[in-house]
């Protein structure tokens, strides 16, 4: 049974995109319409931010609610499988580490949650544009 579980997990994880997700693509398109020039998935900054303007030292991360644990302490007990709890907790630790590392190197960091994009798209885009300009 354990081997089946591992195989199933592998298939699930392989099918999940970490870059150019639907929320990211929507934001990228809208930022271009606003005339914001940026680099996607900037490799020279901790955590490979989804959006970066290196000359202004500003980055934006677009975080999925589940994968990055939005309000995780409130719902973590509902996750029965230790694998998923560990995965989300590692993601949250990595996010904090990268945020701190970027701030310590003089970058301004903005994090946007997936639900912010879906629920308040225009407001979220305006706040990202304001932050980046």
2, 38, 3, 28: which is closest to 132 by C-alpha? 38
Tokens of 86: 């560990």
Distances, alpha carbon 112 to alpha carbons 9, 15, 17, 81, in Å: 27, 23, 18, 27
Q: Express each pLDDT in 81-119 by its tens digit.
A: 888 899 999 999 999 999 999 999 999 999 999 999 999
Q: Express each pLDDT in 56-82 by its tens digit.
A: 999 999 999 999 999 998 988 888 888
Q: How confident is the model at residue 4 (pLDDT cuts 50, 70, 90)?
A: low
Residue ranges and CATH numbers for the domains of the chain are 19-132 (3.40.960.10)
pTM reported for the whole predicted model = 0.84
**pLDDT on residue 60:** 98
**pLDDT on residue 112:** 97
44, 42, 30: which is closest to 126 by C-alpha? 30
Asked which of 1-5, 29-33, 89-93 is least confident by mean pLDDT, the reply is 1-5
């Amino acid at each position: 049974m354990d081997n089946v579980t591992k195989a199933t997990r592998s298939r699930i994880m392989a099918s999940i995109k970490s870059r150019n997700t639907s929320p990211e693509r929507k934001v990228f398109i809208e930022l271009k319409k606003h005339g914001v020039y940026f680099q996607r998935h900037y490799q020279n900054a901790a955590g490979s931010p989804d959006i970066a303007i290196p000359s202004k030292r500003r980055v934006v991360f677009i975080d999925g609610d589940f994968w990055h644990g939005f309000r995780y302490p409130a719902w973590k007990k509902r996750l029965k499988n230790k694998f998923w709890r560990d995965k989300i907790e590692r993601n949250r630790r990595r996010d904090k580490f990268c945020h701190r590392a970027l701030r310590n190197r003089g970058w301004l960091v903005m994090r946007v949650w997936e639900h912010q994009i879906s629920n308040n798209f225009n407001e979220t885009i305006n706040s990202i544009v304001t932050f980046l300009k």
